[in-house]
Structure 1
Amino acid sequence: MQKIKDERLLLKNLQNLRIAYILQTLGIIGILGYDLITKGIDGMRENPLWFVFILTTVVSAFLSMNISVEYESQKRSPKKGFLISLVVLTLISTIIGILTSLSEGFTAINGVLTAGIIFICGIVPISYLYYLRKKRIDDHTD
């Protein structure tokens, strides 16, 4: 099998892959929706397709971050954006942690765990965006 070198064929191949990905995602959502209706939310989460759906959604989001950073129109300071995002993430995590600990049936430990998990889950994409922006600026200065 030879590599495709024609840009039109490459674009057509990428469009075909996008259509296949959309159909596959719609199929997974349909199966998970059926499980949700028949078995409830716990039954839906037990289906291995749930893990596949979450994993592909996260990977797709991270890959699209790379594209959006490449085409940002303004020159942003990566450090400033990182610090602003970090402050906002800390505030959101703290507020959710406090509200969780004040909720009936939850303790302060539950609030700290919830805030910690939200913070860790938020710091990963923030750090990745910082890395992409810094790499872009470093590539343009070379």
Structure 2
Amino acid sequence: MKKITDERLIFRNLQHIKIIYIVQSIGILCILGYELFQGGLEDMRKNPLWLLFIVTSVVYAYLSISTSVENEKALQNPKKSFVVSIIVLIAIATAVAYLTIAKNFGWTNGVVIGVILFICGFIPFYYVYRLRERQIKDLNDDQP
């Protein structure tokens, strides 16, 4: 099989992949919706398609993040934006943990939810930080 070098054909192929992804996602959502109406939330979450849908959504989100960072017009200071993001994340995780504790779910549940929220927020923020650092390094390497 020959590698496609014509940019028009590459773009058309990418459009076809996009359409296939949309059709696949709609099909998965329909199957999961059927499971939801037939057996409830627990039966829907037991279906392996649920895991597939969640994994593909996360991968798509990370790919979109990398594209967004490359498309930024103004270069941002990666350290400053990372620190601001972490401060906001800590505030949100603390507020959610406090609200969980205040609703009488217990200290353990509040702390666990706060830590999980922090970890789930930290990973994409760190990923964006590394992408911005790499972008600045690449721009500095290109300049004479």
Question: Could you tell me the TM-score, scaled by structure 1's length?
Answer: 0.98
- For residues 39-61 of structure 1, the C-alpha deviation after alignment (integer angstroms, 9 at most, x for no partner) is 11111100000000000000000
Q: Supply the distance in 2 between the matched residues of 1:103 and 1:57 (Cα, whole angstroms).
A: 31
Q: Give 1:137 shift.
A: 0.5
2:27 matched residue in structure 1: 27
The alignment of Structure 1 onto Structure 2 pairs a total of residues equal to: 141
1:4 matched residue in structure 2: 4
Structure 2: give runs of 5+ residues left out of the alignment: none
Letter in 2 for 1:2: K
Q: RMSD of the TM alignment (CA)?
A: 0.6
- For residues 105-131 of structure 1, the C-alpha deviation after alignment (integer angstroms, 9 at most, x for no partner) is x11010000000000011000000000
Q: Give 1:74 shift.
A: 1.1
Q: Supply the distance in 2 between the matched residues of 1:121 and 1:71 (Cα, whole angstroms).
A: 24
- For residues 19-71 of structure 1, the C-alpha deviation after alignment (integer angstroms, 9 at most, x for no partner) is 00000000001111111111111111000000000000000000011110001
Q: Give 1:103 shift.
A: 1.3
Give me the identity figure in percent.
48
**SS at the partner of 2:5?**
coil
1:110 matched residue in structure 2: 109
Question: Could you tell me the TM-score, scaled by structure 2's length?
Answer: 0.96
Which ranges of 4 or more aligned residues in structure 1 deviate by more than 2 Å?
Answer: none
Q: Give 1:75 shift.
A: 1.4
Q: Supply the distance in 1 between the matched residues of 2:140 and 2:57 (Cα, whole angstroms).
A: 33
Q: Give 1:73 shift.
A: 1.0
**SS at the partner of 2:73?**
coil
Q: Give 1:102 shift.
A: 1.4
Q: Supply the distance in 1 between the matched residues of 2:129 and 2:9 (Cα, whole angstroms).
A: 34
Letter in 2 for 1:111: G
- Asked whether 1:16 is paired with 2:24, we answer no
